[in-house]
A = this chain, B = another copy of it.
Amino acid sequence: MSSAVTIVRFHKTGSADVLQFDQIPLPEPGQGEVRIRVKALGLNRAEIMFRNGQYLETPVSPSKNGYEASGIIEAVGPDVDSKWIGKAVSTVPGTFKLNEHGVYGEVAVVPFHGIAEYPSTLSYEEGASIWMQYLTAYGALVWLGKIAKGDFIVITAASSSVGVAAIEIAKAEGAISIAVTRTATKKAKLLELGADHVIVTDEEDLVVRVNEITSGKGARIVFDPIGGKILESLAAATAPKGTIFEYGALAPEPTPYPLFTALAKYLTIRAYTLFEVTPDPIFPKAKQYIFDHLASGAFKPIIDKRFRFAEIVEAHRYMESNAQIGKIVVTL
């Protein structure tokens, strides 16, 4: 029973090459924990930033990594009901630290409160492509933003898994999504995925196009993980009393605060991450909302590309290329 397993860790921060396959003794779940035999991993931008040492959490070497795994529970801690053994679950970001419980590996030990069931109609790959994207978008758009029928929602980095989830959530709530992407290569796919409008920033002026689409009103909600110099344009494209959710820091440059535009329109800039949702009383409701929309088919996780476990370094590199639309998945 104490056979070794392989997990992926990094012993120093840096490019994708720092990820390495480490043999460790099969870890036993402690109090309040479960061990999952991993079937699929869903990659996230946060894990690249963490690997680079540029994330909210600071790595402690050797550091685990990975927020999202799906698989089968194969062992439980002493205080966890053993009826969970054998169930298919996936892990929920925001419920554990990457250092301690990062899920990149043949097995992952995570807190029991950090797992969730998903509809049995979903594959393992889809099961590893749920919680980061839908919880992040739900928290900003539905919980805090209270989007409603007819609201215009600007979604930047729209091809990311969170961006696509935001498009689906906007549709489910009757709002009108304006997907923003840099190049024309992803435009057709974004429309196919349900975006009501797509703005290609290499070819079109964001502010002019949002004004056209909204008949001069501007967007009530902006959902942006980029920051940096785009924030001024986003503020100019926001309706009076509108809200810009900043949920990431992808831009390498500093972010100027658009003070005069904001004062003239009473704008709210709300910094937000998924980590606000998971400890909040809204969390069970959020999970149920997502489960129900997955079960009904309203939400459908989009898998962009699959890699084998041995190719996880290539999978990280592929994410850094920004070629994907939707989720990059590693299968075991």
Contacts and interface: CB of A to CB of B under 8 A. Distances in A.
Interface string A30-48: 0000000000000000000
A266 B259 contact: no
Contacts of A255: 256-257, 259
- How often does this chain occur in the complex, in copies? 2
Interface in A250-270: 254-257, 259-260, 262-270
A227 interface: yes
Contacts of A56: 260, 263-264
Contacts of A249: 259-260, 263
Contacts of A276: 241, 266
Contacts of A268: 268-271
A228 to B, nearest CB: 9
A130 to B, nearest CB: 22
A246 B260 CA distance: 10
A262 B271 contact: yes
B273 A266 contact: yes
A57 to B, nearest CB: 10
Nearest to A267: B271
A241 B260 CA distance: 24
A112 interface: no
A276 to B, nearest CB: 5
Contacts of A118: none
Interface string A110-145: 000000000000000000000000000000000000
A291 interface: no
A262 to B, nearest CB: 3
Interface string A268-304: 1111110010000000000000000000000000000
Residue among A241, A254, A257, A262 with the highest chain B CB neighbour number at 10 A: A257
Given A255-B257, A257-B231, A246 B271 contact: no
Contacts of A231: 257
Nearest to A272: B266
Interface string A233-257: 0000000010000111100001111
15 contacts: A56-B263, A249-B259, A254-B259, A255-B256, A255-B257, A257-B269, A262-B269, A263-B273, A265-B271, A266-B271, A266-B272, A266-B273, A267-B271, A268-B268, A268-B269
Given A56-B263, A267-B271, 5 more contacts: A246-B263, A254-B257, A257-B269, A266-B272, A267-B270
Question: Which 9 pairs of residues, A with B, have the shortest CB-CB distance?
Answer: A262-B271, A257-B257, A255-B257, A263-B271, A269-B269, A255-B259, A266-B276, A268-B270, A227-B259
